[in-house]
Every structure is written in C-alpha cells, then in structure tokens.
Amino acid sequence: MRIYGQLNVKQKRTAKLEHEIFIANSDEDINLCFPAFKELRPKLNFEEFLAQIRRQESQSYKILALRENGIVKSAAGFRFCEFLAWGKILYIDDLTTLPNARGNGFADSLLNWLIEYAKSSSCNAVHLDTGYARHAAHRVYLAKGFQLNCHHMALEF
C-alpha cells in the first residue's frame, strides 16, 4: 500500500499491469496528464496547459491521476468549494480517461478515491457537471449514486 495525499491507496493489479493513483504536483506529473485532459477538452494546448493548471491551483484545483506503466490513463481535476446551497463540497471539474483505456474501471477508481477524500475532508457532497451526450459517463455516475438534480446554465462571451 502506498500513501498519497491524506488517503491510503492500494495499488491494483489489472491483467498483470499495476496502476497507481496519485495527486499530480510536479510539473512532470502534471504534463503527463495532458493527453488525458486533451481528450475531454480538445481546445487545450500543451504550451499553455501547465500555466493554466498552476493558475487554477490558486483556487484549490488539484489533479488526481491514475498511472499505469508510466502513462496517465485517467485523470480528474477537482477542488473544494463552499456554497450557501450545499455547504462544503468537492467539485469535480474534469474526469477523463484515454479512449484506449476506457472500460477498465479507471474512472470508477478515481471516483472512489474522490468520494472518500471528500468524506475525510468533511464535505457534505461531491458535485460535477456532465455533458448531455456523455452516456457512458452518466452510467458510471448513476451507478455511484449521483443524482441528476439541476441544470448548469452558462452565458458565454
């Protein structure tokens, strides 16, 4: 068992491959997450990625990553927020898995970690927004007990 952040995380064997879950803190680890984030956010570019993450870190943003054989296969960007409506929550900004790594339970593993981290950090809930057409992701969220309880609206400029 390895310890990452404040939680104990067991390494899991999948078809003779080990994966680890960790908080990406170093420039190198953050940059290793770029391909996974690029799948979810196609407008991202590598040259600006690290600076963007560092700016978001000032707002409590962190990256949780799942690495297998030196490659980040799945990643989640998250932060703590406090609202009048919900109190303290862990908000998942991004949850992504490389296309060739989908179906292995990696996003599920990251969600398990995030849910336990939220509980251990005295949060009232875990929240996320998800696109209407992300049906495979919806199945994962609903299986975890997430409920569809609001619409996110945006006015873009």
Per-residue pLDDT, 1: 34
Give pLDDT, residue 14: 46
For the chain, the structural domain boundaries read: 2-144
**Which pLDDT does position 151 carry in this prediction?**
74
Q: How far apart are CA 126 and CA 118, in angstroms?
A: 7
The C-alpha atoms of residue 106 and residue 85 are separated, in whole angstroms, by 31
Question: 138 vs 40, 109, 153, CA distance in Å?
Answer: 15, 15, 18
At residue 126, the 3 state secondary structure works out as strand
The CATH number of the domain covering residues in 2-144 = 3.40.630.30
Which parts of the chain sit beneath pLDDT 50?
1-6, 8, 10-11, 13-14
| pLDDT number for residue 152 | 76
pLDDT number for residue 147: 81
Quote the pLDDT of residue 71: 96
Confidence at residue 35, expressed as pLDDT on a 0 to 100 scale: 98
pLDDT of residue 2: 43
